[in-house]
Chain A
Amino acid sequence: MSVSDPRDTARRPTRQPLPRSTVALAGLLLVIPLVALAIVPVYARSNPHLWGFPFFYWYQFVWVFVTAAFTYGAYLVVRRARRDSGGR
């Protein structure tokens, strides 16, 4: 495998853009947390409480976990698409 020639056909599959459906799914997984934390007026409230935490605080703690899971999901989606297309 050579890296010296940029037009080397052997490496073509790894450099092809990902299928549109993959990009859409991964993008959705990544955008949802951004939206969830951008809507400050929706989560800036104190009820319902959870274990003594006002809603405002536990909501954001929950999104730490959800974002981690979604980001990992996006990673798996991208990796699978690349394997299917013959890349690494």
Chain B
Amino acid sequence: MTLASGAGGGVHSVELGVVIFFFLIVTLGGFIAVRWKRATSMKSLDEWGLGGRGFGTWVTWFLLGGDLYTAYTFVAVPAAMFATGAVSGFFAVPYTIVVYPLIFIFMPRLWSVSQRRGYVTPADFVRGRYDSRLLALAVALTGIVATMPYIALQLVGIQAVLDTMGIGGTGNAFVRDLPLIVAFAVLAAYTYTSGLRAPALIAFVKDGLIYLVIVVAVVWIGVKIGYGGVFDAAQAKMAKTKGATFIPASSTYWAYGTLAFGSALALFMYPHSVTGVLSSRSRDVIRRNAAILPTYSLMLGLLALLGFAAIAEKTTVIGQDGKPNSQLVVPHLFQQIFPAWFAGVAFAAIAIGALVPAAIMSIAAANLFTRNIYREFLVSDASPEHEARVAKITSLVVKFGALLFVLGMDRQNAINLQLLGGVWILQTIVAIVAGLYTRWLHRWALLVGWAAAIVYGTTVAYHQASATTKHFGSSLAYFPFTHTKVYIAVTGLLLNLVIAIVGTVVLRLVNAPAGTDATESDDYYAEQPSAAVTREAATEIAGG
């Protein structure tokens, strides 16, 4: 059998069996989800794309946890720790800590105004607040373009697991990629029928498995190697590796800090985070979740340390194709330390961990396309039912686009584009977050600031070389006129802000038309409207 050849020496059938078992459970759950939480019909974006806007504290916790902490994170963060240490890997911990106070502060306002005005996407809000189709289009396009490579990277996570189980590498290209194609086709099918309810339900399985695996791994490391030994091994390796850091030194303080804060600000601008937040039932659900979601950050921190544990355990990262690939470090470590059946559970956790965010991201991108491109520029009188139909089809297109991307292009391209995605998405924060508090900034100034920062960030990122690639080698670059490296997205954001403020002053002096604000100050405090009223309104819209 061609599948059995390769450096790993054959397919690991026990592991594969366990993974397939969990995949079947999740598939069943994905299709059943359509009946969950009294969905009467899937014929509106509120139902299909936001799960009826009715998720409570626990569902939101699982959904956002499954959404923000993706399979790629689980694979890439330990991989970065394994290869180059703290600055490229461990910053994910402060990043996912500081994001919650920020969500606590900003997101209830976005939730309230969206609830009151029926907004489904962040671009909807920008459209209403600034009365600018162009600015809304900019926000929507940024969201879609930043999300696509992120979906593709989820597939890279699945590939790492498949490769470890002995699938992939050599042989017929179609046979090699078949498992990935099947997994994605099934995912696409139940996302199409069940909408956001599918990943919300599957997230329970995913997170349960992930927590179980992490607890076992953490105990195992403590008993078998001891954490002192783990850190000693890591320190020794980082001291020998060029460009690696065990603990940031004065040259990398700013890099570490700006990566953490820049990524945190970018995270909740991603369409899939906004979708997760808007699907919750009330402002209190969001606030409570800001307090309980750090559980996942604890888990992520422990996972990051697995990269160091792999150094102590001398884990090898040679893939089926015979080339070293640090993305394989966590699956290889699991295979090395766990019995086959439990390694299978761990692999299932990673694979399902890829499906949940991929589903939510494709839904979020579909919502953006439907509301802010299709309805705005193509068919302005689309009914809710029409919108839902367009979004469902878009979610399929988005997923297959991501699949083609991963199968057809170099994996490095997906990673580069995801790096750029972070730089791009952060530039929408000025219009969105400032807009939640003040209408002072002028829509045209915001548009120019956004464009300048996108051009700046893209150009600078393009010129970063690393040992393995000539372009997009790093998300860090020298801050202009200094010798301090900072996160490119943050420099772009500063440029963006300065242009937005100066531009607003100028445009106000010349009395440029500022448009009409469709929101009222009351909207930003609105609590949950009574359930009866919402349902009435929904039937009204659906019926009319």
Q: Among the listed B295, B301, B527, which residue makes an inter-chain contact with A60, where contact means beta carbons less than 8 Å apart?
A: B301
Complex partner residue of B104 from A14, A54, A64, A75, CB under 8 angstroms:
A75
For chain A, residues 46 to 68, give those with C-beta under 8 angstroms from any C-beta of chain B.
46, 49, 51-54, 56-57, 60-61, 63-65, 67-68
Complex Cα gap A34–B260 (Å) = 10
Q: Which single member of B257, B292, B298 contacts A40 (CB below 8 Å)?
A: B257
Collect the chain B residues with CB atoms within 8 Å of residue A14's CB: 525, 527
Residues of A within 8 A of B98 (CB): 33-34, 37, 67
B101 touches A31 (CB 8 A): yes
- Shortest distance between the CB of B288 and any CB in chain A (Å): 6
Q: Is A86 an interface residue (CB 8 A)?
A: no
- Shortest B305–chain A CB gap in Å is 8
Complex partner residue of B520 from A6, A16, A51, A64, CB under 8 angstroms = A6
Q: B101–A30 contact, CB under 8 A?
A: yes
Contact B105 A30 (CB under 8 A): yes
Closest B residue to A8 by beta carbon equals B522
- Do the beta carbons of A64 and B97 come within 8 Å of each other? yes
Chain B residues near A70 (CB-CB < 8 A): 101
- Asked whether, in the complex, the Cβ of A54 is within 8 Å of the Cβ of B94, the reply is no
Shortest distance in angstroms between B528's beta carbon and chain A's nearest beta carbon?
Answer: 8
| Nearest CB of chain A from residue B280's CB, rounded to whole Å | 14
Interface string of B243-265 (1 = CB under 8 A from A): 00011111001101100110000
- 1/0 per residue, CB under 8 A from A, across B272-296: the answer is 0000000000001001101110110
Is B324 among interface residues, defined by CB-CB distance under 8 A?
no
Chain A residue with the shortest CB-CB distance to B527: A14
Q: How near does chain A come to B414, taking the closest CB pair, in angstroms?
A: 29
Residue B118 is within 8 A (CB to CB) of chain A in the complex: no
Contact at B529–A3, with CB atoms within 8 Å?
yes
Q: Chain A interface: which of B182-190, B193-201, B227-235, B449-457?
A: B227-235
Are B104 and A30 in contact, CB atoms less than 8 angstroms apart?
yes
A67 to B250, CA, bound (A): 26
Known contacts A52-B228, A54-B231, A68-B294; is-contact A37 B97 (Cβ 8 Å): yes
Would you call A38 and B527 a contact (CB within 8 A)? no
A interface residues, tally (CB under 8 Å)? 43
| B301, B520, B522: residue with the most chain A Cβ atoms closer than 10 Å | B522
B266 to chain A, nearest CB (A): 16
Which residues of chain B (207-252) have a CB below 8 Å from chain A?
226-231, 246-250
A71 contacts B527, C-beta separation under 8 Å: no
Interface residues on B, range: 35 or more
Contact B249 A44 (CB under 8 A): yes
Which positions 9-32 of chain A face chain B at CB distance < 8 Å?
A: 14-17, 30-31
Interface of A is mostly: helix
Partner of B101, one of A41, A57, A71, A87: A71
Known: A15-B525, A40-B248, A60-B93. A74 touches B260 (CB 8 A): no
Q: Which of B228, B229, B292, B530 contacts A1 (CB 8 A)?
A: B530
Residue of A nearest to B530 (CB): A1
A81 within 8 A of B: no
Q: Please tell me which one of the listed residues B104, B228, B250 contacts residue A71 in the complex, with CB atoms under 8 A apart.
A: B104
Interface residue B526 (Cβ < 8 Å from any Cβ of A): yes
Q: In whole angstroms, what is the CA distance A74 to B226 when docked? A: 37
Given that A30-B104, A60-B301 are known contacts, is A38 also in contact with B247, CB under 8 Å in the complex?
no
A56 touches B287 (CB 8 A): no
For residue A57, which residues in chain B have a CB less than 8 angstroms away from its CB? 90, 231, 305
Judged by a CB distance under 8 angstroms, whether B100 is at the interface is yes
Q: Mark B500-544, 1 if CB is under 8 A from A, else 0.
A: 000000000000000000001010011101100100000000000
Sampled A-B contacts (21; CB under 8 Å): A1-B533, A15-B522, A17-B525, A34-B102, A38-B261, A40-B254, A40-B257, A45-B247, A46-B247, A52-B230, A60-B301, A63-B94, A64-B93, A64-B97, A67-B294, A68-B291, A68-B295, A69-B291, A72-B291, A74-B287, A75-B290
Interface residues of B (CB under 8 A from A): 86, 90, 93-94, 97-98, 100-102, 104-105, 226-231, 246-250, 253-254, 256-257, 260-261, 284, 287-288, 290-292, 294-295, 297-298, 301, 305, 520, 522, 525-527, 529-530, 533
